[in-house]
Structure 1
Amino acid sequence: MKVKKIIALQLMLSMMLVLGFASCSKKSSSKNSSRATGWNVDGKKASKKQEAGPGLVFVEGGTFTMGKVEDDVMHDWNNTSTQQHVQSFYMDETEVTNAMYLEYLDWVKNVFPPTDEKYKDVYNGVVPDTLVWRNRLGYNETMTNNYLRHPSYAEYPVVGVNWIQAVEFAKWRTQRVNESLLEKNGYLKKNAKTNDVTAEQNFDTETYLATPTSAYGGNAEIVLPGKKGARKAPKSGKNGTAAEPKNIYAQRSSGILLPEYRLPTEAEWEYAAAADVGQREYNIYKGQKKYPWSGSYTRSGKRQSKGDQLANFKQGNGDYGGIAGWSDDGADITNKVKSYPANDFGLYDMAGNVAEWVLDVYRPIVDNEANDFNYFRGNQYTKNKIGKDGKIEVITTDSIQYKTLSNGKKVATSLPGQIAQVPVDENETYLRQNFDKSDNINYRDGDKQSTKFFNFADAESTNKKANEGRDMYNSPKHNVSTDSLGKMVRKYDQSSKRTTLINDNVRVYKGGSWRDRAYWLDPAQRRYFPQDMATDYIGFRCAMSKVGAKSEKRKTARN
């Protein structure tokens, strides 16, 4: 009996020792312990998974055949097929609607009132061109007067927006979403984004990250320290002095702020529109889709909706939607978003409704030999401008920067509260292999090295007369300037020697619209249009890069 008690006691002691070692092991490998040094890392837990921004759906990246795989009946050879890979990203579920864009207009009008002479160009620069509906031989005044603002068109895609305006909308959306996230997490005064925002007190994500005390014009009543920061009285150290609080403002490492909203690249848009993931078998695609949906026809083959058109488009001369009482696609111009089924990524209207701006500068070829990973043409690298005082320079109400369009209209490209940007210089490009200048639009195409007249000995020649007429793309050069009296002077290029419309200011747009025949519904089709002009058939949607893992779901083997 005594022997049994001794054995039981020994077992209990051994179990206590094991548990003690286990608890020590757990302490030494706590979540706040660095896996690199073993030091305790005192920091707030950050979210490891990126949340999808408002309006966005996840598109898992992968490899695909970019370009047309059907016969090229137009023989323009501007979309020959190439193998490309895109990283995972997020994309707007629908095209940006009139209601979404009106929210932007209302914000700009409230913060930069057009009645103030100083800000009139800010508001006027973001207003869509409603005159795009007018036609010399057509009566479209109903759309001219009502399409943007009438509630009946609220959920229709916005049109009359040029590429520059679309980019500025995406920037604005970034600031408003991150502003809301900071408020939600206690870093900004509640409702300041509506009650306290002014032209002088405007929020910008990059300014907040670089110098939080400069956000909202430096108003400390709006920009608050975090919950673990200076709201609590700092504890005194061993020597009696109070330690300064650290990391009291949100940072990138906090995991709160989202990457920027932007236009999708051409590769991203085409990949998302084709949605070949819907016909995947293991790690290969079973053929290439002709449209964003499966099959070679524009009508549904499903039993419940057999015969219904899967997009709205022009079906023939004088036929934009069929006959009364039995309309083929239910629309004659654009249609309410989500009126047609989504593709296999859950994206609506990737064919029909409106064509869409993408980020790329147009060139007739896609140079996959130079790059086949996240392909994009149009990089113009910048850096923060440093003032004479050695600090970053923040835009004020007196230094708003505008871009004057070819028609003389001004669009604000930087607003108060944002950090002024300048091109990168030799300090960033010296001995780099990946880029050697700020503007890379013409890399391997359109620069001097690409022309047949190129002379290696005269590569850096700045003699304009010697190089005149030797541009890769000899496009019209319109000019808008202001005379000494402040009057606008428009100079239209009337030269008869121009050979192309392609230049560094034309952008790609993708997808067929309500004005297009079915031929243009193919996601691989690509066309171009001047970035500062708008139409009644081009709209846009936003995208956002994904940080972290490629997939949101753990892959499991298929048996």
Structure 2
Amino acid sequence: MKNYSVLNIFVATIASVLLISCGGGSDYSNTSRGTGWDVTGKNGFELNTKYKDQDAAPGLVFVEGGTFTMGRVKDDPMHDWNNTPNQQHVQSFYMDETEVTNGMYLEMLDWIKGVFPPEVQEYRDIYNGAVPDTLVWRNRLGYNEDMTKNYLRFPAYANYPVVGVSWIQAVEFCNWRTDRVNEKILVDQGYTDRDQLGARDANQLFNTDTYLNAPTLVYGGNDSITRGGKRSAQLEKSRGKLAAKRDTDTTGLYITREKGILLPAAYRLPTEAEWEYAALGLGSLREYNSYRGRKKYPWDGQYTRSGSRKNRGDHLANFKQGDGDYGGIAGWSDDGADVTAPIKSYEPNDFGVYDMAGNVSEWVADVYRPIVDDEFNDFNYYRGNVYTKNQIGPDGKIAVVTTEDIQYDTLSNGKLIARNMPGEIRQIAVDDEETYLRTNFDRSDNRNFRDGDAQSSKYYRTGDEIDPNQRMYDSPQHQVTVGEDGKFDRQYDKSNTRSTLIDNEVRVIKGGSWRDREYWLDPATRRFYPQDMAKDDLGFRCAMSRVGSKSKKSKSPRN
């Protein structure tokens, strides 16, 4: 009887394999399900049928998405109603394991310094615009001069979170990181010249979007770099001498998005919903299909010290414990830091993410508003969308920025920062061609949508009665311009009737820092800060969207 059962199982297994091989499985075979044609490229069309799963990019850990209550705090001493609880759903994504460190940021500065030497007048503002503001450590009644000189560059602080970085600088770091990772992938895969990773030529820079949209224009149009790898040479040889001479025929010589080789998404700042969800680390509090509400901080429980027998009483984060108490009494009861602490000084949460409370507060992508408009959207919530498209030049090709047409923005503090970099595709606002008859968006700039735009303002009238000077958020309007002599003309808003600091240029910051009391360690708390300014207790980390399946593991019945 046992032999008969074994035989049945064996036969069923063979039958299943045969069914899968005949196209009954979930994966593509070498023939199309729609037409039966070959999809390996023999007939021109090629489909990557062996793509398995998205790998975590350097520095990132996987965060499986789900539903959670955003904005729920245990205490609300501020009584400002800016974190009213609402139910949100977040797609799976990847998050930096730690905050971006001084060492990581210095790597970018070294690259910029090599490509755009600050001693060259035309490049000086590029490097200066990327350097963190080390003067954030100064205090008029405190001595911190050694921090202003050493914190960013001295090797003892290499594994400490970078501070003095504005939101704009953090975004630029994410963009730079995306291009460097993708450039290395192309080199490692043998498609581009290996020597290019050490090259420092402002006229021959790699940009991911340019490569995917117009690969012949990347590296300043130097095709010998783009097609200078060993695999490219093999592809040229396999195509034959005749095809190799036809420069217009580039089939298979460049990596396209369909190949699945480059990063499927870019490094970016996490949204507020993603950051809060990752900080909560709800994994250990799941009971069947509901969450047990026992969390106040990113770790389990209601207290800032550990309750386990092994390390009972140890601090679980770096924060201000009271007036004049930034670390505790020297010795065992100290939290290990008076300012910032090295990354991974404390245990990670259930997602494997470190320092989601304490150490430094962190920039997130969102424009700040006192409310989260869950009535309009409760899926991947984010306020700050500004939709753009690639600019097309007179020759019908996409317009790529060169060293001669770099544009700069003058920030409210008078600092210049490059709006675009050589090798990037110039972006313009979307227009009627993209918005006509659409129901999901009708404008380029959506930062004010349903909260601060003309339609939602209490001053809103129809027709000619709209007064552009009457705004929902009556914030200061400073004007900073640069004259022909290079000097700044700073015109501060001296009005004494301004009622708020909220506008479209302030961003949400999350998480408590070494300067904050316990209340701000709660992941649901939220504050805001001007996007072009920086602080000594404010850093950031990167995130990346996940494409494809929500989970990395298949689900199985609990019982």
2:192 corresponds to: 188
Corresponding position: 1:467 with 2:468: yes
Matched pairs, number: 530
Select the residue among 193, 199, 204 that pairs with 2:202. Answer: 199
Corresponding position: 1:59 with 2:63: yes
Corresponding position: 1:279 with 2:285: yes
Select the residue among 230, 233, 239 that pairs with 1:234. Answer: 239
2:72 corresponds to: 68
Corresponding position: 1:251 with 2:256: yes
Shift of 1:235: 4.9
2:129 corresponds to: 125
Q: Secondary structure at the match of 1:443?
A: coil
Alignment check: 8 A CA contact 1:358 1:508 kept: yes
Alignment-mate amino acid for residue 250 of structure 1: I
Alignment check: 8 A CA contact 2:294 2:302 kept: no
Shift of 1:206: 0.5
Percent of aligned pairs with the same amino acid: 63
Shift of 1:62: 0.3
Shift of 1:327: 4.3
1:428 corresponds to: 434
Shift of 1:266: 0.1
Distance change in 2, residues 1:243/1:539 (3 Å): closer
Q: What are the residue-to-residue correspondences of 1:400-549 with 2, within 5 Å?
A: 400-458=406-464, 461=466, 466-468=467-469, 470-549=470-549
Alignment-mate amino acid for residue 263 of structure 1: L
CA distance in 1, matches of 2:530, 2:232: 48
Shift of 1:305: 0.8
Alignment-mate amino acid for residue 123 of structure 1: Y
Distance change in 2, residues 1:305/1:497 (3 Å): same
Select the residue among 133, 140, 153 that pairs with 1:136. Answer: 140
CA distance in 2, matches of 1:228, 1:416: 27
CA distance in 2, matches of 1:236, 1:541: 48
CA distance in 1, matches of 2:180, 2:366: 25
Corresponding position: 1:49 with 2:49: no
Q: What are the residue-to-residue correspondences of 1:364-403 with 2, within 5 Å?
A: 364-403=370-409
Corresponding position: 1:155 with 2:156: no
Greater mean deviation of Cα atoms: 163-172 or 322-331:
322-331
Distance change in 2, residues 1:484/1:66 (3 Å): same
Greater mean deviation of Cα atoms: 50-59 or 483-492:
483-492
Q: What are the residue-to-residue correspondences of 1:278-297 with 2, within 5 Å?
A: 278-297=284-303
Shift of 1:554: 1.1
Deviation per CA, 1:481-521: give whole Å up to 9, x if none.
12343321111111111110001000000000000001100
Deviation per CA, 1:204-248: give whole Å up to 9, x if none.
0000011111111111221017559742143599xxx99956222
Alignment check: 8 A CA contact 1:394 1:417 kept: yes
Alignment check: 8 A CA contact 2:126 2:418 kept: yes
CA distance in 1, matches of 2:205, 2:247: 33
Alignment check: 8 A CA contact 2:94 2:543 kept: yes
1:210 corresponds to: 213
Select the residue among 19, 22, 33 that pairs with 1:35. Answer: 33
Alignment-mate amino acid for residue 387 of structure 1: G
Alignment check: 8 A CA contact 1:234 1:242 kept: no
Alignment check: 8 A CA contact 2:73 2:522 kept: no
Alignment check: 8 A CA contact 1:66 1:270 kept: yes
Alignment check: 8 A CA contact 2:192 2:232 kept: no
Runs (5+) with no aligned partner, structure 1: 1-17
CA distance in 2, matches of 1:244, 1:474: 57
Alignment-mate amino acid for residue 227 of structure 2: L
Q: Secondary structure at the match of 1:64?
A: strand
Shift of 1:183: 0.7
CA distance in 2, matches of 1:436, 1:222: 41
Runs (5+) with no aligned partner, structure 2: 1-13
Alignment check: 8 A CA contact 1:234 1:245 kept: no
CA distance in 1, matches of 2:313, 2:166: 35
User: Could you tell me the TM-score, scaled by structure 2's length?
Assistant: 0.91
1:3 corresponds to: none
Shift of 1:455: 0.7
Alignment check: 8 A CA contact 1:102 1:149 kept: yes
Q: Secondary structure at the match of 1:73?
A: coil
CA distance in 1, matches of 2:294, 2:115: 48
Q: What are the residue-to-residue correspondences of 1:324-403 with 2, within 5 Å?
A: 324-403=330-409
Q: Secondary structure at the match of 1:191?
A: helix
CA distance in 1, matches of 2:74, 2:542: 28
User: Could you tell me the TM-score, scaled by structure 1's length?
Assistant: 0.91
CA distance in 2, matches of 1:516, 1:106: 32
Alignment check: 8 A CA contact 2:75 2:519 kept: no
Q: Secondary structure at the match of 2:113?
A: helix
Distance change in 2, residues 1:365/1:245 (3 Å): closer
Distance change in 2, residues 1:156/1:378 (3 Å): same
Alignment check: 8 A CA contact 1:315 1:518 kept: yes
Q: Secondary structure at the match of 1:65?
A: strand
Distance change in 2, residues 1:126/1:39 (3 Å): same
CA distance in 2, matches of 1:357, 1:336: 19
Alignment check: 8 A CA contact 1:59 1:91 kept: yes
Aligned Cα root-mean-square deviation (Å): 2.3
1:14 corresponds to: none
Shift of 1:276: 1.3
CA distance in 1, matches of 2:248, 2:400: 30
Shift of 1:301: 0.8
Shift of 1:191: 2.9
CA distance in 1, matches of 2:24, 2:456: 60
CA distance in 1, matches of 2:369, 2:247: 61
CA distance in 2, matches of 1:373, 1:27: 35
Greater mean deviation of Cα atoms: 28-37 or 123-132:
28-37
- Considering only CA atoms, is the larger Rg found in Structure 1 or Structure 2? 1
Alignment-mate amino acid for residue 386 of structure 2: Q
Select the residue among 216, 219, 222 that pairs with 1:219. Answer: 222
Distance change in 2, residues 1:243/1:224 (3 Å): closer
Distance change in 2, residues 1:306/1:144 (3 Å): same
Alignment check: 8 A CA contact 2:73 2:525 kept: no
Select the residue among 127, 134, 150 that pairs with 1:146. Answer: 150
1:166 corresponds to: 170
CA distance in 2, matches of 1:236, 1:343: 57
2:553 corresponds to: 553
Distance change in 2, residues 1:236/1:119 (3 Å): closer
CA distance in 2, matches of 1:236, 1:227: 14
Alignment check: 8 A CA contact 2:47 2:258 kept: no
Q: Secondary structure at the match of 1:58?
A: strand
Q: Secondary structure at the match of 2:122?
A: coil
